Amino acid sequence: MFLTSPNKILGLDISDLSLKAVQIRRKMGGNYIQAFNSINLPPGIIEEGVIKDAEKVARLMRQLIQKSANKFTTRYAAISLPETKTFIKVIDIAHTDTQTDKVRDLISKELPRHMPLEMSEVQVDWQEIGNDHKYRKFLVAAVPRVIAEEYIKLCGLAQLEVVALEIEAQAITRAILPLAAEGNQRAWWNKLPWQKTKEATNNNKKDEGAKIILDLGATRTSIILLDKGIIQFANSIANISGEKITRTIMERKNLSYTKAEKAKLICGSDAKKCKGVIRDIMIEVIDELVKEIINTINFYQDHFSGQTKDLEIILCGGGSNMNRLDEILGKKLQRKILIANPLANISGELPRKIGNLYAYTTAIGLALKNMA
């Protein structure tokens, strides 16, 4: 939801263990990355999305913006709120009802059935995403007011003004699917013939059909189910995460955190490296992930009557850098696995080399808010 609409914003992804910011510059109808930066947070200052030490986080946020190699030139920020604390839901409203009642009233009546909060406790945003002969379909996003206020206050401490609040699944989807999927017109610049080569290489171009986006983060994995480019639901799984893999390596190999993290990145899923020990741990986690994906697909078939025969899976987040993850998942699930392109809606070169592009997916999606 947009609170005000300035013409320059930065996307700010606030996670338990990292802050990432991206600013996009619009030129001749194209979106160019002007600045990006990330910073690790020490454990404990944000825990499961709850801000424990606002002063410290705000100080690091200032550093993130001021010490960036390329300049951020706005104090207006679009932020996402912790996945576990937000709700996103498709609500069907009968045409006959919308003739008599206002959509807002109908959503207010229906939404409390799908979340453990009262309407007075949440900020709500919605968009109409389709209709059939009987129902109008609305994608409704709800954010608890207390959480929203806490994050706005935190950004205020860092002299940033929050102008948009979003559910992370919305930001991720915006980054990796062509912007037209949001109902926006693609810029005329992107329709020019010489832009075709870039479009052809964009492996996420086809936005029809069911898809699962997996955001493999440090502290959790998010599963977002999309159909026809529209989010149907999103879930966060706390026990599948990059941190969990690192901590398991620490315990089993009796290593420090830093060494375990290094072993994870170097040996990964390669059976020939580190005597295959790291690979075995990774496979255990991948097997859990496979179970969750199968459950999600079954849930979508049973509760949404969704078509899942050709469902494809798109990987993003830092964990998608894991060596051969796409190949292993593809074999286990017998489905098409794609690695997301977080630059699907970005033109031109990056201002400098980016270390871990997939980890910037959310920040890029936030920075793209309101860019056609």
Ligand X SMILES: Nc1ncnc2c1ncn2[C@@H]1O[C@H](COP(=O)(O)OP(=O)(O)OP(=O)(O)O)[C@@H](O)[C@H]1O
Residue 219-258 contact track with ligand X, rule CB under 6 A, x = bound: xx---------------------xx---------------
- Distance CA(327)–CA(284), nearest Å, equals 16
Q: Among 81, 218, 281, 313, which residue interacts with ligand X (rule: CB under 6 A)?
A: 218
* Axis crossing angle, helix 325-333 with helix 277-304, rounded to the nearest 10: 50
Report if residue 11 touches Mg ion, rule: CB under 5 A.
no
Rule CB under 6 A: is residue 11 a binding residue for ligand X?
no
**What contacts 59, CB < 8 A, 6 or more positions away?**
158
Q: How far is the CB of 80 from ligand X (least distance, A)?
A: 10
Q: Is residue 369 part of the contact set for ligand X (CB under 6 A)?
A: no
Interface with ligand X, residue 317, by CB under 6 A:
yes
Residue among 9, 11, 15, 179 that touches Mg ion (CB under 5 A): 15
**Distance between terminal CA atoms of the chain?**
16
Which of 268, 296, 367, 371 is the binder for ligand X (CB under 6 A)? Answer: 268
Does 365 bind ligand X (CB under 6 A)? Our answer is no
Helices (H), 131-195: 145-157, 168-176
Give 210 or 260: the residue with its C-beta nearer to ligand X.
Answer: 260
17 binds, among Mg ion, ligand X, none (CB under 5 to 8 A by kind): ligand X
342 binds ligand X (CB under 6 A): no
Say whether residue 322 binds ligand X (CB under 6 A).
Answer: yes
Yes or no: say if 334 and 323 are a contact pair by the CB < 8 Å rule: no
- How many helices and strands (H and E) does the chain possess? 11, 15
Q: Which residue's Cβ lies closest to Mg ion?
A: 217
CB contact at 8 A, 313 and 211: yes
Closest CA to 22 of 82, 78, 83, 81: 78
The whole-angstrom separation of Cα 171 and Cα 366 is: 5
- Binding segment for ligand X (CB under 6 A), chosen from 110-118, 170-178, 188-196, 312-320, is 312-320
| Cα–Cα distance for residue pair 278/260, rounded to 1 Å | 9
The piece of 169-177, 199-207, 259-267, 326-334 that touches ligand X (CB under 6 A) is 259-267
The tokens for 103 are 């959509």
DSSP conformational letter for 359: G
Q: How far is the CB of 28 from ligand X (least distance, A)?
A: 31
Residues lying near ligand X in the complex (CB under 6 A) are found at 15-18, 217-220, 242-243, 261, 264-265, 268, 317-319, 321-322, 356, 359
